[in-house]
């Protein structure tokens, strides 16, 4: 899953590591006196000092040192302070860092790799504002950062990427099962999205997921306009041995879901899973239906369903649906077929609402809770 994006993130890490390490080696060679400078700052004798203290040379050096002790030391504030305000580190700083076993990451080390990372994210259908946020976080984390030579620059890049990705992917996350456990029963969940993205199958999968955790559920077919909708969800209900509440084609979707809530309350069913007709956010009559369901039924959660493979289109639709009829979270189907990962990375950030589940196959068990930390670790190969 998301293999294409994994490769691009690995390439970025390798590019920064190679650039930074080459620049560090070049800087060390160009600053041949760097070790002496750094040692002098720390008050340690250098090899040149030691040689100067042999015999008469040592006496002369001691006398010179005594004379200099009464003379104010030259102001080196400019060298020490370079880079403190976010500017490029000075030669003095780089020399001292290298001599004490550290390397400073500079703007030049990041410029080309960051540009390539931006292109990689956009090619992976990551939304523009999300890509920019990731780049800004990586840049702020790494610029001017020094690291011990016993660590690798790759590890530093990996940590920066980890923090940047988690910041955008983990927006709005909450514990779905805890929400179900603590809510008054029955819990009503309504599913919405465009046609053909797998809403009905997702409802069946989630019914199985809930059943595995000890929660009973009833299915409600609020998709009263599509021919064959009753038959499709009825087949899932039969296979799962769930009760189905449905009306004749063309009926009122709100009435169907309301009846399902009444049935659940009367029969101690924990969760109502309500399907709705596929729609575009621009379909005023269908969007008004969602508003009516929200007003009359007052569902506990409204979940937006779309395909992970839809990439940028899924991100745009999530934004538009949330604006038209506020959603509480998203479910992405066909995640197992998605190599880019753009939708999974972007939707939470652009809507402020979390991705809650990923569909990963055709079976009823092929659904899993969306775990931002686990996804980031998977993307970075950690």
Tokens of 22: 């080459």
Per-residue pLDDT of the chain (382 residues; tens, 9 = 90+): 777 778 878 887 777 777 655 555 555 454 444 444 444 444 444 444 444 444 444 444 444 444 444 444 444 444 434 444 444 555 555 554 554 445 666 777 677 888 888 888 998 889 999 999 999 998 888 776 555 544 566 677 788 889 999 999 999 999 999 999 999 999 999 999 988 899 999 999 999 999 999 999 999 998 887 878 889 999 999 999 999 999 888 788 999 999 999 999 999 999 999 998 876 656 667 777 888 888 899 999 999 999 999 888 899 899 888 887 789 999 999 998 887 888 889 999 999 999 999 999 989 999 999 999 998 998 888 7
- How many other C-beta atoms are found inside a 10 Å radius of the C-beta of residue 154? 16
Residue with tokens 């259908």: 125
Q: Residues 261, 263, 269, CA angle at the centre, nearest 5°?
A: 80
pTM (predicted TM-score): 0.75
Closest CA to 353 of 182, 190, 195, 170: 170
Domains of the chain: residue spans and CATH: 3-68+78-169 (1.20.120.140), 176-369 (3.40.50.300)
- Round to whole Å and give the CA distance between 380 and 160: 11
Quote the distance between the C-alpha of residue 74 and its chain's center: 50
* HSE-up of residue 46 (Cα within 13 Å, Cβ side): 13
Tokens of 179: 């929400």
Question: What residues are paired with 102 via a beta bridge?
Answer: 148
Quote the distance between the C-alpha of residue 240 and its chain's center: 34
Q: What is the SS3 assignment for 151? A: coil
- Round to whole Å and give the CA distance between 362 and 241: 18
Q: Residues 278, 237, 371, CA angle at the centre, nearest 5°?
A: 65
């Amino acid at each position: 899953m998301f293999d294409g994006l994994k490769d691009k993130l690995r390439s970025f890490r390798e590019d920064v590591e190679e650039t930074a390490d080459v620049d560090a080696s070049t800087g060390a060679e160009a600053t041949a006196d760097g070790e002496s400078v750094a040692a002098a700052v720390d008050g340690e004798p250098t090899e040149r000092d030691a040689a100067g203290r042999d015999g008469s040379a040592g006496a002369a050096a001691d006398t010179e040192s005594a004379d200099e002790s009464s003379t104010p030391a030259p102001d080196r504030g400019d060298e020490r302070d370079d880079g403190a305000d976010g500017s490029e580190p000075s030669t003095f700083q780089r020399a001292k860092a290298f001599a004490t076993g550290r390397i400073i990451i500079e703007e030049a080390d990041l410029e080309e790799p960051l540009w390539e990372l931006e292109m990689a994210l956009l090619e992976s259908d990551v939304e523009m504002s999300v890509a920019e946020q990731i780049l800004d976080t990586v840049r702020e984390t790494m610029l001017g950062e020094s690291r011990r030579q016993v660590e690798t620059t790759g590890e530093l890049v990996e940590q920066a990427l980890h923090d940047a990705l988690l910041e955008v992917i983990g927006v709005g996350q909450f514990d779905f099962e805890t929400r179900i456990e603590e809510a008054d029963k029955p819990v009503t969940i309504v599913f919405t999205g465009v046609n053909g993205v797998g809403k009905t199958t997702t409802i069946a999968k989630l019914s199985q997921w809930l059943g595995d955790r000890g929660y009973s559920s009833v299915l409600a077919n609020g998709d009263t306009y599509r021919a064959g909708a009753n038959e499709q969800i009825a087949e899932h209900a039969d296979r799962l041995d769930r009760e189905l509440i449905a009306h004749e084609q063309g009926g009122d979707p709100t009435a169907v879901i309301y009846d399902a809530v009444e049935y659940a309350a009367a029969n101690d069913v924990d969760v109502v899973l309500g399907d709705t007709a596929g729609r575009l956010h621009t379909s005023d009559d269908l969007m008004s239906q969602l508003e009516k369901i929200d007003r009359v039924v007052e569902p506990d959660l409204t979940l937006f369903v779309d395909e992970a493979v839809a990439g940028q289109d899924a991100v745009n639709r999530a934004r538009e649906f949330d604006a038209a009829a506020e959603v509480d979270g998203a479910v992405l189907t066909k995640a197992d077929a998605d190599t880019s990962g753009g939708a999974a990375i972007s939707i939470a950030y652009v809507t402020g609402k979390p991705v809650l589940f990923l569909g990963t196959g055709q079976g009823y068990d092929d659904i899993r809770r969306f775990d931002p930390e686990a996804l980031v670790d998977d993307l970075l190969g950690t």
